[in-house]
Structure 1
Amino acid sequence: MKNIMVVEDNEDIRREIAILIGNSGYGVMSVDDFENIVEDVKLLKPHLILLDINLPQKDGFKLCMEIRSFSKVPIIFVTSRNSDMDELKSITLGGDDFITKPYNSAILLARIEAVLKRAYNDEENGVIINYKEVTLNIASSKIINQDKESELTKTELKILHYLFLHRGTITPRMDIVEYLWDNSMFIDDNALSVNITRIREKLSTIGVDDFIKTKRGQGYMI
């Protein structure tokens, strides 16, 4: 289920949108504390944000800029401001779409679906895998944390991909070795240790520590 954050200061409209998207099968995160929106985004990690422009504390443009400094989460502006300049500014600052109020419910849902499909199509096809704070991009052979990234060798990518596929469970060392052999990568137990060390070092360079845990006598776990 994709979770959508609704940032709208009009309580009636916020409730209306929440009911609409909730009835359409999405998880709903409604914001009523407008002082800590950026912190809420970091903590809750929504899949998409519906963002008004006219808000107390900070306007939607300012919030979009701050969110874009650390996240690529899709943002759709839903606002009563309807000038071409407002729409241009929203897209220039990193918004993914712009819808004016009063909105048509069917069109709003269609726009949400389209933006989510564009943003997460690679993830759903297994090209991108997210776990905790780490993104594994298989197509580009990179690990990513916020705005930092590090390139992986072919062997490192295969090892990390296997761990991602078994995330949350202990993966025996020999299972990884056999998986690599099956994929024509001939490494032994010692070479596996070396590659795990290198992956941990690369994770550290993007600000992620203790992501791969060693379970003594059992294997590895993320």
Structure 2
Amino acid sequence: MYTILLIEDEEIIAQKMKDFLEGWNYKVIIPKDFKNILQVFLDTHPDLVCMDIVLPFLNGYHWAGEIRKISKVPILFISSIADNMNIVMALSQGADDYITKPFELQILQAKIQALLRRTYDFAGKTLVLEHKGLRFFPEETRAVFNDHEVELTRNESKILMLLLQQKNKIVSRDEMMNYLWKTDYYVDENTLSVNVNRLRKKLDSIGCQRFIETVKGMGYKV
């Protein structure tokens, strides 16, 4: 079953699309938080993204660009904006197709089916992040370096994902804590250090040494 991330802030339209697509045996996820669509994408690992252009906080162009930095997952824009300039803008930001509202749901399904077939029937459907020779497979929670492989825990995978998402940039300890433990309960900072050190040891074990750099007083970077 393919998973579709449906980013549409008009609830009635979103629910109608969801009900229709689920009838075609797709799993459809509609985010509740439009402030950080990239985080929703990372948490849900969709096979395809359907996204409106006009969204709360930041528009679809922004989120398409952010998703394209880390993934080649197909993106289908759905929008009432039909002029050529916006279509060109959408495609230039990494969209694979564009459908204008109002549309027949059967047309939407046909476009989704074509994108999924084109993307996965011929190319496989594995998300891979690469940096400095390390290949990370977030869906499989494993890392590979020079043909050596190691399995990672959920938290180790999230740490590596966050660092790779912002490679060559410093990720603060506070940002990492919030990313790992979204809770009102107190979490000791030593817990983060333990998880980072465990991840380092696992990467060292496959020959990927000194991959995670500590920036004193600031955080970590890769």
TM-score using structure 2 length: 0.60
Could you give the per-residue CA deviations for residues 18-77 of structure 1, whole angstroms, max 9, x where no partner exists? 111111110011112101210010111100010000000100001101111111111000
The reply on whether 1:37 has 2:25 as its aligned counterpart is no
Matched letter for residue 199 of structure 1: D
- Tell me which stretches of 4 or more aligned residues in structure 1 moved more than 3 Å: 147-151, 206-211
Q: What is the match of residue 15 of structure 1?
A: 15
Q: What is the match of residue 129 of structure 2?
A: 146
Q: What is the match of residue 73 of structure 2?
A: 73
- Within 5 A, what are the aligned runs for 1:55-66? 55-66=55-66
Alignment length (residue pairs):
153
Instruction: Tell me how far apart the structure 2 counterparts of residues 115 and 149 of structure 1 sit (CA, whole Å).
Output: 31
Could you give the per-residue CA deviations for residues 71-109 of structure 1, whole angstroms, max 9, x where no partner exists? 111100001111011111111110000000001111110
The reply on whether 1:3 has 2:3 as its aligned counterpart is yes
Instruction: Tell me how far apart the structure 2 counterparts of residues 109 and 73 of structure 1 sit (CA, whole Å).
Output: 17
On the 8 A contact 1:150/1:202 being kept in 2, the answer is no
Instruction: Tell me how far apart the structure 2 counterparts of residues 10 and 201 of structure 1 sit (CA, whole Å).
Output: 44
The reply on whether 1:92 has 2:116 as its aligned counterpart is no
Instruction: Tell me how far apart the structure 2 counterparts of residues 96 and 68 of structure 1 sit (CA, whole Å).
Output: 11
TM-score using structure 1 length: 0.60
| Change beyond 3 A, Cα 1:149–1:28 | farther
SS in structure 1 at match of 2:30? strand
Q: How much does 1:200 deviate?
A: 2.2
On the 8 A contact 2:133/2:145 being kept in 1, the answer is no
Q: What is the match of residue 156 of structure 2?
A: none
- Within 5 A, what are the aligned runs for 1:128-207? 128=124, 130=126, 145-148=128-131, 198-200=146-148
On the 8 A contact 1:38/1:67 being kept in 2, the answer is yes
Q: What is the match of residue 218 of structure 2?
A: none
Matched letter for residue 13 of structure 1: I
On the 8 A contact 1:64/1:93 being kept in 2, the answer is yes
SS in structure 2 at match of 1:46? coil
Instruction: Tell me how far apart the structure 2 counterparts of residues 104 and 200 of structure 1 sit (CA, whole Å).
Output: 49
* Structure 1 stretches lacking a partner, 5+ long: 136-144, 152-166, 169-195, 215-222
Percent of residue pairs bearing the same amino acid type = 30
Matched letter for residue 73 of structure 1: V
Instruction: Tell me how far apart the structure 1 counterparts of residues 103 and 27 of structure 2 sit (CA, whole Å).
Output: 20
Could you give the per-residue CA deviations for residues 169-214 of structure 1, whole angstroms, max 9, x where no partner exists? xxxxxxxxxxxxxxxxxxxxxxxxxxx98422899xx979749x99
